[in-house]
Amino acid sequence: MLDLNSLDLEFKNRVASKPGGEKATNCFLCGTCTAGCPVSSLNNEYNPRRIMRMILLGMEKDVLSSPQLWQCSQCHTCVAHCPQDVRFADVMRVLRELALEDGYISREFLEEVEKIDREIRQERIDRVNRLQNNR
Ligand code: SF4
Ligand code: SF4
């Protein structure tokens, strides 16, 4: 059940004040981002539309402490599909910065996630190259 006293209606403006989050308040919760998201297709729990709704409602603590912040692969598919130019992948990056700023995660945790993302991209390049070399 939603605790109305815990909502911070300024949260969406805080997100919008950061580079990359400027268009967050354009969202009209259509769900196109979730429908095309490759992470959502693998994990039903991961839902960009729900995260946007929580931002707009002011559920700051729930958003910034959510494990979902770290599941986005930053592929930008949602950016290409969004009819409102919200740029959800960039909003997600802002949320990660705010989670660090507010002490929900450590700098080391953030760096480790970025390292994992780099390694996965490198792994893809290496595997595709191997595949091509073995044709
Ligand atoms: S971010 Fe864009 S695609 Fe996602 S719910 Fe909002 S308006 Fe729709
Ligand atoms: S950037 Fe993140 S939220 Fe957007 S489609 Fe890719 S994985 Fe999903």
- Give residue limits of the domains in the chain: 7-104, 106-135
Please tell me the number of the ligand nearest to residue 89's CA. Answer: 2
DSSP 46: -
The 10s digit of each residue's pLDDT in 31-81 is: 999 999 999 999 999 999 999 999 999 999 999 999 999 999 999 999 999
Does the C-beta of 74 come closer than 6 Å to ligand 2? yes
Whether the per-residue pLDDT at 120 is higher than 80: the answer is yes
Does the C-beta of 52 come closer than 6 Å to ligand 1? yes
Count CA within 13 A, CB hemisphere, residue 33. Answer: 30
Provide the pLDDT confidence category of residue 3 given band limits of 50, 70 and 90. confident
- Structural tokens at position 59: 């559920």
Nearest-atom index, ligand 2, CA of 89: 1
Share of the chain above pLDDT 90, in %: 93
Provide the pLDDT confidence category of residue 1 given band limits of 50, 70 and 90. low
- What's the CA gap between 129 and 119, in Å, rounded? 15
Provide the pLDDT confidence category of residue 108 given band limits of 50, 70 and 90. very high
Please tell me the number of the ligand nearest to residue 28's CA. Answer: 1
- Report, in this order, helix, strand and coil percent for the chain, each rounded to 5: 65, 0, 35
Does the C-beta of 58 come closer than 6 Å to ligand 2? no
Please give the average per-residue pLDDT across 75-88, as a whole number.
Answer: 97
Q: Which CATH code of 1.10.238.10, 3.20.20.370, 1.10.1060.10, 1.10.10.10 fits the domain covering 7-104?
A: 1.10.1060.10
Which one of 26, 82, 93 would you pick to mutate in the ligand 1 pocket, going by the greatest count of ligand atoms within 8 A of its CB?
Answer: 82
Measured CA angle at 124 (ends 129, 113), to 5 deg: 150
Q: What does pTM read for this prediction? A: 0.92
